[in-house]
Amino acid sequence: MAVDAKSVKALREQTGAGVMDCKKALTEAHGDFQKAVEILRKRGAATAEKKAGRAAKEGLIGSYIHFGGKIGVLVELNCETDFVASTEEFQSLAKDLAMQVASARPLYVSKEDVPEEVLSKEREIYREQAIGEGKPEKVIDRIVEGKLKKFYQQFCLLEQPFIKEDEITVAERIQRAVAKLGENIVVRRFVRYQVGEGEAS
């Protein structure tokens, strides 16, 4: 089927994918825009997975100051080359991630960064809550895992809904950039400062 240029342009703006990829996805989806978005997201994830093993030692520090200078964030975002680090797309991503940290206050970059003792404590609390609510033993593990997933979505940067497009996660936003820029991209670390935070009351 023929795909009109307007749809290709709209799909490209939403996903960041190349023109030919957008055309192929729309053709494959028989013109269904949302289905085409899904196709591109799956391909982006597959592309990101292939590149994930490659060393990312270049990059930059993204920064964001908010609320009249009361909140400040630094994020180290890595890629494979200086060339990609200097692109507008990469710099914009670094800025967006710094804004994400300022707004959503994650504690960890990824699920893998959460210390085991923290996870054990959370599981214990969720289990006690479920028992206290009189839930049957056979569903308690499932309840605990469901609450743990919500914990990750709240406190792990990559699992959080992306502030500029909350139907995707931060990890998916990074995957889009990987697909567009053709390099592995990694959030190495971040730090968030807030005036008066951590002071003894």
* pLDDT band at residue 44 under the 50/70/90 scheme: low
CATH class in words for 5-51: mainly alpha
CATH of span 115-154: 1.10.286.20
Whether the per-residue pLDDT at 126 is higher than 80: the answer is yes
Condensed to tens digits (0 to 9), the pLDDT of residues 54-88 reads 667 799 999 999 878 899 999 999 999 999 999 99
pLDDT value of residue 200:
46
Domain ranges for the chain, please list them.
Answer: 5-51, 58-110+156-194, 115-154
Domain 5-51 and domain 115-154 have a common topology: no
Burial level of 119, CB count in 10 A (0-12/13-18/19+)? middle
Q: State pTM to two decimals.
A: 0.70
The CA distance from 100 to 106, in Å, is 9
CATH of span 58-110+156-194: 3.30.479.20
pLDDT value of residue 20:
78
Other residues' Cβ atoms within 10 Å of the Cβ of residue 177: 24
